[in-house]
Structure 1
């Protein structure tokens, strides 16, 4: 009987883990965007001289962007257009190819520009180039935040 209870508990944990991985795409994209926002805030402070430049941290910023870009494609399925207080505009699904191309460009730019960073000056140039991608996508595909 004890073995059955242990097996049931292990099975329940496994199901919970699979469910969490395949869970709510709106919540997952909000979490990914939160991580991007935190890294962007730190990058902006470094670029403005409000935080010391740290090469390892600069690389983490670009790695976070590239990782998020790689995940975003799967976080906008058709059934996630509404609910969860999403800020995603219907234009994402109406112009899916353009949206996905912008995300892919952002990820590629994060990898390419991030690889060029060696000091504060190269960080500023790379950070500006990559974050411009964020603005262009938000203007078209994200509901303005009040």
Structure 2
């Protein structure tokens, strides 16, 4: 009977460990998907700031709506233990989680404010750079340099 119990316990530990690795991998993929979406939406909007793309209010609003929504979801996608694997996340995230989470809260707030303020190209050029600066702060402090 003790052998069966020991075998069950060993099997359970292996399954539990594999589940934890899969969950960690899933959370990394989830956050990468959201952050890739940020990049995909930011490229054309950045072109608008530089003057290489025509101003498109709907594209700007879509980007800001996504930033605001996803910035609220992203902190939960950086749980303890999700710092290894296929990730560019720096250990600083978990060393200063309050600052990291605060940057996402600021991004959500900045995006929401900019969404309300941007009505034309002039207001876009005045308000959008502040949103992007928050992104840059996070990249500079919490993301591996490529």
Give the TM-score of the pair, scaled to structure 2.
Answer: 0.80
Counterparts in 2 of 1:1-146, with a 5 A limit? Answer: 24-83=26-85, 85-145=86-146
Distance apart, 1:125 and its partner CA: 1.8
Whole-Å separation in 1 of the counterparts to 2:136 and 2:25: 27
Aligned residues: 123
Q: Hey, which bits of structure 1, 4+ residues long, moved more than 4 A? A: none
Checking the alignment, whether the CA contact within 8 Å between 1:55 and 1:118 is kept in structure 2 is yes
CA offsets per residue over residues 17-49 of structure 1, 9 Å max, x none?
xxxxx9711101111011000111011111122
Gaps of 5+ in 2: 1-23
Between Structure 1 and Structure 2, whose CA radius of gyration is higher?
A: 2
Structure 1, unmatched stretches of 5+, are 1-21
Residues 43 and 127, structure 1, Cα contact 8 Å, conserved in 2? no
Structure 1 length-normalised TM: 0.80
Question: What is the root-mean-square deviation in Å for CA atoms of aligned residues?
Answer: 1.4
